[in-house]
Amino acid sequence: RNDRYLESQAARESNARSYPRRIPIAIQEAEGIYVKDMDGRTYYDCLAGAGTLALGHNHPVVLEAVREMLDRKRPMHTLDLTTPVKEAFVDELFASLPEEFAKDARIQFCGPTGGDAIEAAIKLVKTATGRRSILSFQGGYHGSTHAAMSLSGTLGQKENVQGLIPDVHFLPYPYAYRCPFGVGGEETHRISSRYVEQLLKDPESGIVPPCGMIFEAVQGEGGSIPAPAEWIREMRRITQERDIPLIVDEVQTGFGRTGKMFAFEHAGILPDVLVLSKAIGGSLPLSVVVYRSKLDVWKPAAHIGTFRGNQLAMAAGLATLRYIKANDLPGHAERMGARLRERLEELQSRVVQIGDVRGRGLMIGVEIVDAGKEPDPLGHSPANPQLASRIQRECLRRGLILEVGGRHSAVIRFLPPLIVTESDIDEIARIFGEAVDAACA
Ligand code: PMP
């Protein structure tokens, strides 16, 4: 029965060429970490709405919150008008931010997607500074809307679209395994920060004062690459000294995924602008930008949009935030992530095609390489997207959904719901190991 749905999708939806191309199943129902397809097969969902489903599918506290909204005649849509649910949601969100940031913060509700919030963040810092050039990072991903895509490092998406926003300067991200400077290890992030500072210092570098710097503290779509805490602190210092607003995109990393409530907290810094979506809506669409009050320069109606008042998403998000805090899911994500990485590192020690295992918390990437080809100057074999794709297929056959991403589509990404248990982790690692053996055979 899967086939019938897949054929109909392929005939009508261009979406069939994105996720379904690699994960060709039709989903019938879902609960917790599992989804069931139309043929009755059950899978571990380690894609989980691209990191959206912090509590997994249909968590009881989310269902309860949504049911209560429906049963009590709460409005589903209110544009920007306030409601008790919205107020409670903002209270809870602010209480989950570092106190020093929250006490002087403003919030802007945006359209339903992460991309919408990125658009808002960029407009905000442009308006506040009166400047237009932006500093972004190689391999970053910020969305598919026009400005968000312009800031993303992924060329594949951009090459056929003319007239992207100009004045984006792409800087090297501290990706130690494929070090853009050919050094690797700790030297990668030290050189990267020196390079950024030199560009901004040198009047001959050609860079005009930027309206902002944007990065992910752990690059997600770029291949689950954590930026070292020291590098993040350096970016904070460099931007602070020059009065450049620092925008941290926590669309994927936010709400416990990396082992802290927010990934910037690993470095002990505070951003000027924080972009949030995915998990914030408790599996329903919602995005916000939270920023320092001195940047709150919007004139009335300078940034508007119809679908910013999704009350069901706020109720589901509120229940999710409360559950994440009450059950210390950031701490749990840290422990489960460490367990999974340990298993994956064991596998790496016997499989030469596993080039790198990295990540933070439950945002883990495994870079697949072609061990038969000549290594780069750092001794790392070239990326092997074909093998990564075979491993993904073998995982799916064994009941495990994983995504493949990264610079060369050779990184297998683990993004399980944060409620994953120890036994789930062991089973996921076991299936993955079997799939790797089958694909490498
Ligand atoms: N920023 C980051 C870091 C993301 O991972 C994503 C989505 N994967 C986005 C922005 C864009 O979010 P959306 O797809 O909801 O527009």
What values do phi and psi take at 176, rounded to 5?
-65, -35
Query: Which residues form ligand 1's pocket by a CB distance below 6 Å?
Result: 50, 113-115, 118, 141-143, 216, 220-221, 249, 251-252, 277
Asked whether the predicted pLDDT for residue 403 surpasses 90, the reply is yes
d(CA 265, CA 232): 10
Asked whether the predicted pLDDT for residue 373 surpasses 90, the reply is yes
Pocket test for ligand 1, best of 249, 252, 276 (most atoms within 8 A of CB): 252
Asked whether the predicted pLDDT for residue 426 surpasses 90, the reply is yes
Which residues are registered as beta bridge partners of 136? 170
CB 405 within 8 A of CB 399: no
d(CA 234, CA 267): 10
- pLDDT computed for residue 157 by the predictor: 86
Calculate the average pLDDT of the chain. Answer: 96
Residue nearest to atom 11 of ligand 1 (CA): 143
d(CA 439, CA 393): 9
State ipTM.
0.99
pLDDT tens per residue across span 11-51:
999 999 999 999 999 999 999 999 999 999 999 999 999 99
Asked whether the predicted pLDDT for residue 351 surpasses 90, the reply is yes
Residue nearest to atom 13 of ligand 1 (CA): 114
Q: How many CA atoms lie within 13 A of 396 on its CB side?
A: 20
| Mean of pLDDT values over 190-194 | 96
pLDDT tens per residue across span 114-137:
999 999 999 999 999 999 999 999
Asked whether the predicted pLDDT for residue 407 surpasses 90, the reply is no
Domains and CATH numbers, the chain: 2-58+328-440 (3.90.1150.10), 74-326 (3.40.640.10)
pLDDT tens per residue across span 253-307:
999 999 999 999 999 999 999 999 999 999 999 999 999 999 999 999 999 999 9
